Amino acid sequence: MPKPICFLLSGGGTGGHIFPALSIADELKRRYPEAIIHFVGAKDRMEMEKVPAAGYSISGLWISGINRSDGWKNISFPFKLMSSLIKSVQILAKYKPEIVIGTGGFASGALLYAAHWLGHKTLIQEQNSFPGITNKWLAPKVNSICVAFDGLDAFFPKSKIQLTGNPIRRELTQLLPLRSKALHSFGLQDKPTLLILGGSLGARNLNKAVLKLYGRILSAGFNIIWQTGKLYIENLKTEVAPTEGLYMEAFIQDMPMAYAAADLVLSRAGAGTLSELAVVTKATILVPSPNVAEDHQTKNAMALVQKGAARMIAEKELDSSLETLLLELLNSDTKRKELSNAIAEFGKPNATNSIVDQIDRLISK
C-alpha cells in the first residue's frame, strides 16, 4: 500500500504567520483527504496551542527571534539555531514530505533551510508589503514565493514570485449577511456604523483614543462596534457604561456579521486584516502599530494609502486627528464609497486556492 502524501508547514510567533498556514493546510486537506499534514513551530509560542486546536499535529523547535534592543540576550541564538536545524533534519527524515511550506517566523526559517539542503521542494508565503528577515533569507533557496503585494521583486527573485494574495477566512469569500440582519444581531439601529478592530489582544493607545471620543461619535448619530481585545475589556467595562448604539466586546467571533454591519472600519494594519478588508470592500482608517518588527504595518498601510484605498493616522496623532477624520467619513457616503471602490482592487478572495494551485504545480513536476 503506497504511503500517503505528506505536507510539512511552518509559520509562527504571531497570528499573522499561523492563520495563513492553517488556511493553506485546510485547503490541502480538502484536496488531499488522505494526506499527512504536520506543522513545525517554535516551542512556547502561540502556534503550539493554535495548531492542535485546529486539528493538526505539531513539533516544536528550540528557536526564538533576535532581540533587537538587548544584544546580550542573543548569546544563545547560535545554539538555538543549530538545535533547530538538527531537529528539522530529523523531522524531515521522519515525514519525508512532498513539499515544505513556510509562512514566516524563525521556526519556518530553520525548517525550510534544512528542507532546501536535503533537496525537498519548498514554498514560502509572504503576507506583508515589506518582507520579514526570515523570508528574505530564504528567498534565494526556495522554489516558489507567493506574495500579497506588488513590488516585492525588489526583495525576491522575480522569477519565483506568484502574486496570489493572503489567505483569508473561508466564510469571508461568501456573500456577507444582510446589513439589517447584522445590525440587529449586535442590538443596533439602522445608523452609519463604525467598527473598531485593534486585534485579538487589543491596542492600548487606540483604545485610549476611542475612550476619549466614543460619546461624541454616538451623540453625532452613529453606532460603534468596538473590539477592545482581551487585555483591555475589564478595565474598559469600568469606564464605559452600557449605552444605546454601542456594542463592546473583547473579541468578535462572527466577523462576517461585523463586517456586514460596518460602514467604516478603524483598524490596525496587519497584512491579514488588510486582505480581509479588501475582500469585504470596507472604507477604512488604518492606525499602524509602531511596535512590530521593521515597521511592517506602516508599510502595509502605505501600499493602500498611496492608491487611495484607505486613510491612515499615525498612532502619535490619534488625539489630534482621529475625531475629525472619523466624522468626516461617517458623514460622507461619497467618500466612503470612493475608499470602498479603491480597496476592492486589492481584494483576492481566492488567495488560498491560488497558493495551493502553486503547490500542486510544484509537486506535479
pLDDT digits (tens, 9 = 90+) for 345-358: 999 999 999 999 99
| pLDDT of 40 | 96
Every domain of the chain and the residues it spans: 6-168+350-364, 172-344
pLDDT at residue 16 in the model: 80
pLDDT of residue 125 exceeding 60, the answer is yes
What pLDDT does residue 96 have?
Answer: 97
Residue 132 in this model has a pLDDT that exceeds 90 = no
Confidence grade of residue 72 (pLDDT, cut at 50, 70, 90): low
Given a contact cutoff of 8 angstroms between Cβ atoms, the answer to whether 139 and 310 are in contact is: no
| For residues 248-270, average pLDDT | 95
Instruction: For 95-112, write each residue's pLDDT tens digit.
Output: 999 999 999 988 899 999
For residue 148, what are the CA distances in angstroms to 145, 160, 294?
A: 10, 14, 18
pLDDT (0 to 100) of residue 1: 56
**Average pLDDT, integer, range 217-228:** 97
How many angstroms separate the CA atoms of 141 and 117, rounded?
9
Helix axes 204-219, 318-330, angle to 10 degrees: 40
CATH fold match for the domains 6-168+350-364 and 172-344: yes
Mean per-residue pLDDT, 224-245? 93
User: What confidence tens digit (pLDDT) does each residue in 138-184 have?
Assistant: 999 999 999 999 999 999 999 999 999 999 888 888 889 999 999 99
Q: Give a three-class secondary structure readout of the chain.
A: CCCCCEEEEECCCCHHHHHHHHHHHHHHHHHCCCCEEEEEEECCCCHHHHHHHCCCEEEEECCCCCCCCCHHHHCCHHHHHHHHHHHHHHHHHHHCCCEEEECCCHHHHHHHHHHHHCCCEEEEEECCCCCCHHHHHHCCCCCEEEECCCCHHHCCCHHHEEECCCCCCHHHHCCCCCHHHHHHHCCCCCCCEEEEECCCCCCHHHHHHHHHHHHHHHHCCCEEEEECCCCCHHHHHHHCCCCCCEEEECCCCCHHHHHHHCCEEEECCCHHHHHHHHHHCCCEEECCCCCCHHHHHHHHHHHHHCCCCCEECCHHHHHHHHHHHHHHHHCCHHHHHHHHHHHHCCCCCCHHHHHHHHHHHHHHC
Q: What is the pLDDT of residue 348?
A: 94
Query: Residue 200: which pLDDT band, with cuts at 50, 70 and 90?
Result: low
pLDDT at 29 over 70: yes
More confident residue, 201 or 184: 184
pLDDT on residue 175:
83
pLDDT at 64 over 80: no
CATH superfamily of 172-344: Glycogen Phosphorylase B; (3.40.50.2000)
pLDDT greater than 60 at residue 55 = yes
Q: What percent of the chain has pLDDT over 90?
A: 79
pLDDT for 2: 67
pLDDT value at residue 317: 95
Average pLDDT value for residue range 60-84:
72
- Confidence label for 32 from pLDDT (cuts 50, 70 and 90): very high
Average pLDDT over residues 68-97: 82
CATH, range 6-168+350-364: 3.40.50.2000
Confidence of residue 77 (pLDDT cuts 50, 70, 90): low
Q: Is the pLDDT of residue 240 over 70?
A: yes
In the numeric block, which cell numbers belong to residue 262? 460596518
Predicted confidence (pLDDT) at residue 65 exceeds the cutoff of 70: no
